A and B are shown apart, each in its own frame.
Chain A
Amino acid sequence: MNFDLTSDQKMLQDQVRKFARTELAPVAPEIDKSGEFPWENLKKMAKLGLLGIIIPEEYGGSGFDFISLAIAVEEISRVCATTGVIVAVNNSLCAYPILQFGTEEQKKKYLPPLCSGEKIGAMGITEPNAGSDVAGMESTARLEGDYYILNGTKRFITNGGEAGIYVVFAYTNKEMKHKGISAFIVERDTPGFTLGKHEDLMGIRATANCELIFEDCKIPKENLLGEEGQGFKICMNTLDVSRIDIGAQAVGIAQGALDEAIKYSKERKAFGQPICNFEMIQSMLAEMATQIHAARLMVYYAGYCKDKGMKRFSKEAAMAKYYASSITVDVARKALQIHGGYGYTKDYTIERLYRDAKILELYEGTSEIQKLVIARELTR
């Protein structure tokens, strides 16, 4: 049993924390307001190797483990949840499945640009009529000669509007049910692929959340990821992994909210003293810190399971994501409560964090889906 971060994890935390505070925090309110995809942030992060944290050096990545990815995503999300999820998605929803299931050619072709920031990654699972029910997707791909012909619409795709490389899921054989789903690597300029509606989100507003429309989109046969029918497995395996860093994003937002609450409660005076002296405020601060601590340990543990090479850690990943999401919403609520009326204005950071927090209970599997995964594992 050892709770210490390794020497390189400590250095990563130190440098990412400084980078996030100095470079990302000042522009976070701006990109929240404008909703403009933070390319400048990404360029800077690419230089540091933050876009390919878990990708081996030979493919242009930094070669770190999943606990390190969690640490980095937490530090980034602590000051900018939008940038946090862009990094998380690039790493674990796009680069990771290519690394894990791709051919050597696919890895050599697609991983270096994802790590260098030349292209940003996204993943297309969700559809207008299929969210939690992944197998309910309607997109299809049929093989014609050297191409798969992809038809369908993907909705709520993080990074969707700005990405260059997408991992997209569609049925190649509807009769096989979920075993008939396949995964494809789709490039942005593929004929028949267009962007649809850009979502105007409540939080994480600069994530280029967008609809992807495929109309007889011709995907080269060699862009099939894994084998035909492996899509559902690739999807579930990838989600197990991405729940680690999405859990970390939740921890980051919660920590950011606690940072703000502590700062405000020490500055704000009422009845002749700082409000942090009052027991009801202290009670909230203590609860928040404890919740964050527990969530962080759960996220690290899920990362540890993955790093250790455990075959099955769906339950641990789902627990971490479920718990971290629910506490981040609660912590953001308490932090805003501590701010009183000021917290309800756009002059205070907590207003943004409160809006950002809510998405955690919705994406990468709703909290209800996490509970379903956990319960299924318990009763297997």
Chain B
Amino acid sequence: MEIVVCIKRVPQTAEAEVKVDPSGRDIVKDRLTFDINEADSYALEQAILLKEKYGGSVTAISLGPAEAEDTLRIALAKGADNALRIKEEDFTPLDGYKTALILYNIIKDLKYNVILTGCIATDDGYSQVGPIIAELLGIPHATLVTELEIKDEKAEVVRELEGGLLERLEINLPALFAVQTGINEPRYASLLAIRRAAKKEIKTLGGADIQGEVKSLSVLEKLYVPPVERRAEILSGSMDEISEKLVQIIKEKGLL
């Protein structure tokens, strides 16, 4: 089974203070740490699990800056066979469509039975790239995938819907799956695998390797931090009273 997995290197913003840079179209990144996008790390693990079960090979692709090669190298250490970086610097600015178009241009010439992506990137949150790649390739896709099994050239997938519902589908291969976090338990690379991966080649492709014109369909106008609205309420009283009030509020807001 030939598997392609798309991974993205994103800033870790969960515990950091995010500031908009002077251009107004990007965030200040120099003090942020970067890592593989969370959902993509599950996609990568799923790719390796599929390979371990059905044989074949895993190709990890990242459209990113030179530093994305660190992320790709970890992918190699975890079990990817090939790694490919597409030079982001040749294509910026990017929107979801343009990103997908570039990835499509590379993937269409590769062998693949299964393409995996994360279901959402934690930086731009578009959730577009996976489905657009699938549409451009003319293959089926499923998003928010929480289970994935392969049987006789077909995939059995479970998707997560709103309201706690699950949906089970049978999909013909080749197909693309945008996986949800929690679908598996991403492994750590062993030290031996790290040493071997350090010597492996990471192929790079740039603007000259993409045929035709790739254009964005949307333009980022402005990034901003929403104005703070003061709506905090401090509950007072004994622990029991506070608990009771809290439960009441949660019920009123329809959260329970």
Contact = CB atoms under 8 A, between A and B. Distances in A.
Interface of A: 6-8, 10-12, 14-15, 18-19, 47-50, 53, 57, 62-64
A8 B198 contact: yes
Nearest to B76: A11
Contact of A47 (B35, B190, B197): B190
Nearest to B197: A11
8 contacts: A8-B197, A10-B70, A11-B74, A14-B35, A48-B188, A50-B191, A57-B192, A63-B192
Contact of A53 (B35, B74, B189, B191): B191
Given A7-B198, A8-B198, A14 B192 contact: no
A12 B192 contact: no
A19 B192 contact: no
Which interface residue of B73, B74, B188, B192 has the most chain A CB atoms within 10 A? B188
B73 A64 contact: no
B154 interface: no
A192 B12 CA distance: 56
B194 A12 contact: yes
B195 A62 contact: yes
Interface string B225-253: 00000000000000000000000000000
A108 B143 CA distance: 51
Contacts of B189: 11, 15, 48
A305 to B, nearest CB: 22
A15 B195 CA distance: 12
A307 to B, nearest CB: 15
Contacts of B191: 12, 48-50, 53, 62-64
Which interface residue of B70, B77, B191, B195 has the most chain A CB atoms within 10 A? B191
Interface residue SS majority, chain A: helix
A47 B193 CA distance: 11
Interface string B60-75: 0000000000100110
B202 to A, nearest CB: 10
Contacts of B194: 8, 11-12, 15
A11 B77 contact: yes
A49 B189 CA distance: 10
A15 B188 contact: yes
Contacts of A11: 70, 73-74, 77, 189, 194, 197-198
B74 A14 contact: yes
Contacts of B35: 14
A64 B188 CA distance: 17
B74 A15 contact: yes
Contacts of A18: 188
Interface in B125-165: none
A139 B35 CA distance: 53
B147 to A, nearest CB: 23
A110 to B, nearest CB: 20
Contact of B192 (A6, A7, A10, A49): A49
Contacts of A63: 191-192, 195
Contacts of A14: 35, 70, 74
A195 B70 CA distance: 47
A231 to B, nearest CB: 31
B45 to A, nearest CB: 13
Given A7-B198, A11-B74, A63-B195, A49 B188 contact: no
Interface in B174-222: 188-192, 194-195, 197-198
Contacts of B188: 15, 18-19, 48
A173 to B, nearest CB: 41
Nearest to B193: A49
A259 to B, nearest CB: 11
Which interface residue of B70, B73, B194 has the most chain A CB atoms within 10 A? B194
Contacts of B70: 10-11, 14
Contacts of B197: 8, 11
**Which 4 residue pairs across A and B have the least CB separation, nearest first?**
A49-B191, A62-B191, A8-B198, A11-B194
B40 to A, nearest CB: 15
Nearest to B70: A10
Nearest to A48: B190
A10 B74 CA distance: 10
Given A7-B198, A11-B197, A11-B198, A62 B192 contact: yes
Nearest to B35: A14
Contacts of A19: 188
A48 B193 CA distance: 9
A19 B195 CA distance: 17
Contact of A6 (B77, B190, B198): B198
Contacts of A7: 73, 198
B74 to A, nearest CB: 6
B74 A64 contact: no
Nearest to B15: A263
Nearest to B17: A266
A154 B230 CA distance: 64
A284 B199 CA distance: 42
A378 to B, nearest CB: 37
Nearest to A62: B191
B38 to A, nearest CB: 12
Interface in B13-67: 35
A12 B35 CA distance: 14
A208 B188 CA distance: 27
Contacts of B73: 7, 11
A48 B190 CA distance: 4
A240 B84 CA distance: 43
A23 to B, nearest CB: 8
Contacts of B198: 6-8, 11
A106 B73 CA distance: 36
